[in-house]
Structure formats: C-alpha cells, structure tokens
Amino acid sequence: MRAIILLGAPGAGKGTLADGIKAASRFQHVATGDMLRAALKQGTPVGREAEAFMKRGELVPDEVIFKLVEARIAAGGGDDGFMFDGFPRTLAQAERLDALLAAHGGKVDHVFLLEAPRALLLSRLTGRRVCRGCGAVYHVVNIPPRRAGLCDACGGELYQRADDQEATIANRLDVYERQTAPLIAYYDRQGVLTRVDAARERQESVAAILAAATDRGR
C-alpha cells in the first residue's frame, strides 16, 4: 500500500493541494484536522477532547490522533494508496505511522514538504474563509468567491476558522516549528523528502507530485 504525506506549516496550502491531487488520482485522503473538525461539529467524545487544544492552536494529544488514524487505515486506502495531510505532526506520530503501514505491508513512499516564508503563511491564514456547508476553502484576496461571503459550489455561508484568528495563528506557527519541523530531518534521513515551493501554481505542483508519487508519468 503506497503512502504519501503532505508536510508543511499551517497556511502552506496542504489542503488546497490535496484537493487538486484528489481530483486527479485515487488516493484516500486522510486529513486529521478535517476529521477533528467533523468530530467537534458532531459533538463526539473525540471532538470534545480535542476542542480546547484546537482553540488554543496546540496539538491534540497523540493518543487521540492515533485512534482516528488507525481506524482510517484499517478501513483501507484508495487505488493509489493513502495521502496524509496534517498528519504526522510529531515524531511519535511519524513512528506510529511507520509501524501501522508496516503492519499493512506498506511504508511512507514520499513526503512532500511545502515551503513558504512566514509572511506568506500569515497572509494565507488571516485571509482564509471556509464554507460551512461543503468545506470548500477560499481566500478574501487570492481565491475570492463570486458572491461575497457565499460558497460558489453550494451557496453555503463562508466563515473564518476560530484558529485562523491572529492570536492563535502565531501559536500554531510556533507549535509547527517546535513539534512538527523535526519531521523534516526524520524523512530526509529516510531519503523520501521532496521540497515543493508553496508559492508555485497549484496545478504545477499537483502534476509534479502525481508524476513522482503514482504510476502516471512513468
């Protein structure tokens, strides 16, 4: 079972890139942030446990994340395998993922690191708006909806994520540097890391990733 990871700071564009990759491939998308927001909305025990951490821009404890991810891996991947987005975020998560994949006869094949300067991350995060209905992502300047405040796809209301407020953003970027950035060296050592300029056109990055990570383009 093939597995790829989209790694990068909040605001680097992992989710947007994942949408482009999904549209052109058969990866099973595993986005722990989306799973947690869904759990929170539904008021499940996992959602209640995660809420305070997410509001502060801190990481949800590894054990909570493991439960979510283990269930998703057990449910099986797509024809192209798994695409992890926003996971792993700590060394303990990376090690657990290696063990889980090994148990299913797989491994991490590629890690795509989206690199962006802090100023770009900040402007992307503060301007991000999300559809309450379908989860589509917009930006007030870069990807504005056709009608202000409303989703082009489903007409739903656009809102700003609680953790995209400026006070929380600074904490999320610090948490990334402290807890997630060490994964760069971890995957570099394994020889699976590819750097992607987060400012590049999305379609170019999608094509490059698909050529590297699937049988297409070979």
What's the per-residue H, E or C state across 56-109? HCCCCCHHHHHHHHHHHHHCCCECCEEEEECCCCCHHHHHHHHHHHHHCCCCCC
65 binds ligand AMP (CB under 6 A): yes
Q: Which of 67, 70, 49, 66 is nearest to 58 (CA)?
A: 49
- Residue 82's DSSP bridge partners are 3, 28
Which residue's CB atom is positioned nearest to ligand AMP? 33
Structure-token pair, residue 136 = 């589509």
Applying CB under 6 A, does 11 fall inside the site for ligand AMP?
no
Q: Check 161, 195, 200, 202 and give the catalytic one.
A: 161
Q: Which two tokens stand for residue 164?
A: 């995209």
172 carries an active-site annotation: yes
111 touches ligand AMP by CB under 6 A: no
In terms of CB distance, is 33 or 77 closer to ligand AMP? 33
Local structure of residue 109 (DSSP, 8 states) = -
- Told to check if 66 binds ligand AMP by CB under 6 A, we report no
97 in contact with ligand AMP (CB under 6 A):
no
Told to judge if 118 belongs to the known catalytic residues of this protein, a careful annotator would answer no
Residue the block writes with tokens 């007030």: 140
With CB under 6 A as the contact rule, which of the stretches 28-36, 39-47, 119-127, 205-213 interacts with ligand AMP?
Answer: 28-36
Cis peptide before 45 (omega within 30 of 0): no
| Paired tokens of 90 | 């700590």
Query: Interface with ligand AMP includes 172 (CB under 6 A)?
Result: yes
Could you say whether residue 10 binds ligand AMP (CB under 6 A)? Answer: yes
Query: Which of 3, 9, 36, 125 forms a contact with ligand AMP (CB under 6 A)?
Result: 36
Binding site for ligand AMP (CB under 6 A): 10, 32-33, 36, 53-54, 57-60, 65, 86-87, 89, 93, 163, 172
